[in-house]
């Protein structure tokens, strides 16, 4: 096996690619990675094809079995190498991962060698994804990709779904398209979020009002008007009047006396309602 670990995807592509290149250089066959065939007579071409098939078989064994359906149709080193590069170097999500790691690199509890090793690994991945190009259009494309990824990296957690959709999309939007989409989302009406604490307080307040209303109803049912408890006579022990108004003790007063007594007691802060007076009359009539 030419690598210490098989190709698992974008997560270890750079390590795998470096190991493959180093091994091919040590065997003097690195040209098989960048050329599709050899120049020369038929004998030289046949020898090239034979060696290339052997090398392709070795490359296959350096790829994880789960990824093999992607590579098995390609039976030359050049095609396998190109396929891996296409899959794992033009992936916008991988570039986002590199930028995120780059902006969050910190030594913290690491020893210096480990920390610098992580920095070097990120630098190599960045160089692979953003290799120097003489083409002006290529440079502009790389810059657009850089700013797009930086914009995505700065989004808050409530926009994770938007970021994931863009990173998983087969087509990468331009920076202007991304800006337009984010502005539309920001302009969309948002519904207020009621916290559990506010909701619990509202429920408690509602329950308190219900309890108080229930108590008031009970007072009205068992007591006098507006929740007052009905007076009880200490002489006849009947409800609805006091000892001073007891007909059994004092006799039934004339109507004008009732009016005078009502005015007098009203001035003292106590009044007998017409309803209570009628109850007393009914009580006397039943005696």
The string of DSSP letters for the chain reads --SSS-B-STTSHHHHHHHHHHHHHHHT-GGGGT-SS--S-HHHHHHHHHHHHHHHHHHHHTB-GGGHHHHTT--SHHHHHHHHHHHHHS-HHHHHHHHHHHHT---TTS-HHHHHHHHHHHHHHHHHHT---S-HHHHHHHHHHHHHHHHHHTS-GGGHHHHHHHHH-SSPPPHHHHHHHHHHHHHS--PPPPPHHHHHHHHHHHHHHHHHHHHHHHHHHHSSGGGPPPPB-TTT--BT--GGG-HHHH-PPPHHHHHHHHHHHHHTT----HHHHHHHHHHHHH-
Please enumerate in sequence order all residues whose Cβ is within 8 A of that of 76, keeping only pairs 6 or more positions apart, or say none. 32, 36, 52, 53, 56
- Measured in residues, the chain has a length of 287
What pLDDT band is residue 50 in, cutting at 50, 70 and 90? very high
Q: Of the candidates 242, 244, 252, 258, which has an alpha carbon nearest to the alpha carbon of residue 282?
A: 252
Average pLDDT, rounded, for the chain: 77
What pLDDT band is residue 199 in, cutting at 50, 70 and 90? very low
- Mean pLDDT across 117-139: 85
Report the half-sphere exposure of 62 (CA within 13 A, side-chain side). 24
Is pLDDT above 80 for 106?
Answer: yes
Q: How high is the pLDDT of residue 267?
A: 45
Q: Which of 9-18, 204-213, 261-270 has the highest mean pLDDT?
A: 9-18
Q: How high is the pLDDT of residue 93?
A: 79
Percent of the chain at pLDDT above 70? 74
Token readout for 268 is 């003292």
- Mean pLDDT across 169-180: 85
| pLDDT tens-digit series, residues 86-101 | 888 766 877 888 888 8
Least confident of 54-68, 111-125, 210-224, 228-242: 210-224
Burial of 241 (0-12, 13-18, 19+ CB in 10 A): buried
Is pLDDT above 90 for 67?
Answer: yes
* CA angle (166, 171, 174) in 5-degree steps: 75
Q: Residue written as tokens 């302009």?
A: 187
Report the half-sphere exposure of 12 (CA within 13 A, side-chain side). 12
Q: Of the candidates 13, 24, 86, 87, which has an alpha carbon nearest to the alpha carbon of residue 58?
A: 24
| pLDDT tens-digit series, residues 210-239 | 545 555 544 444 444 444 567 778 778 787
How far apart CA 181 and CA 186 sit, in angstroms, is 9
Least confident of 19-33, 157-171, 260-274: 260-274
Cβ-contact 241, 249 below 8 angstroms = no
Is pLDDT above 90 for 257?
Answer: no
Q: How high is the pLDDT of residue 190?
A: 58
Q: How high is the pLDDT of residue 10?
A: 77
Q: How high is the pLDDT of residue 265?
A: 46
Is pLDDT above 70 for 200?
Answer: no
Radius of gyration of the chain from its Cα atoms, rounded to whole angstroms? 46
Q: How high is the pLDDT of residue 248?
A: 75
What pLDDT band is residue 58 in, cutting at 50, 70 and 90? very high
């Amino acid at each position: 096996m030419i690598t210490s670990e098989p190709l698992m995807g974008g997560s270890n592509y750079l390590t795998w690619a470096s190991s493959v290149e180093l091994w091919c250089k040590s065997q003097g066959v690195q040209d098989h990675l960048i050329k599709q065939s050899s120049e020369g007579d038929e004998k030289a071409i046949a020898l090239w094809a034979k060696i290339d098939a052997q090398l392709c078989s070795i490359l296959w064994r350096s790829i994880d079995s789960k990824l093999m359906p992607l590579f098995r149709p390609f039976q030359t080193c050049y095609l396998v190498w190109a396929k891996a590069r296409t899959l794992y170097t033009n992936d916008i999500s991988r570039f986002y991962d590199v930028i995120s790691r780059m902006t969050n690199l910190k030594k913290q509890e690491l020893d210096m060698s480990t920390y610098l090793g992580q920095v070097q690994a990120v630098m190599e991945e960045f160089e692979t994804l953003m290799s120097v190009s003489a083409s002006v259009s290529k440079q502009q494309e790389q810059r657009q990709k850089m700013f797009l990824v930086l914009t995505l990296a700065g989004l808050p957690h409530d926009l994770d779904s938007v970021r994931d959709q863009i990173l998983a999309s087969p087509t990468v939007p331009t920076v202007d398209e991304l800006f337009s989409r984010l502005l539309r989302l920001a302009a969309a009406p948002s519904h207020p979020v009621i916290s559990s604490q506010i909701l619990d307080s509202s429920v408690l307040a509602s329950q308190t009002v219900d309890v108080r209303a229930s108590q008031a109803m009970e007072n009205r049912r068992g007591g006098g008007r507006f929740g007052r408890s009905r007076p009880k006579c200490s002489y006849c022990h009947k409800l609805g009047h006091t000892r001073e108004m007891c007909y059994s003790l004092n006799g039934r007063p004339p109507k004008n006396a009732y009016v005078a007594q009502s005015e007098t007691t009203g001035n003292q802060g106590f009044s007998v309602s017409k309803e209570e007076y009628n109850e007393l009359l009914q009580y006397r009539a039943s005696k």
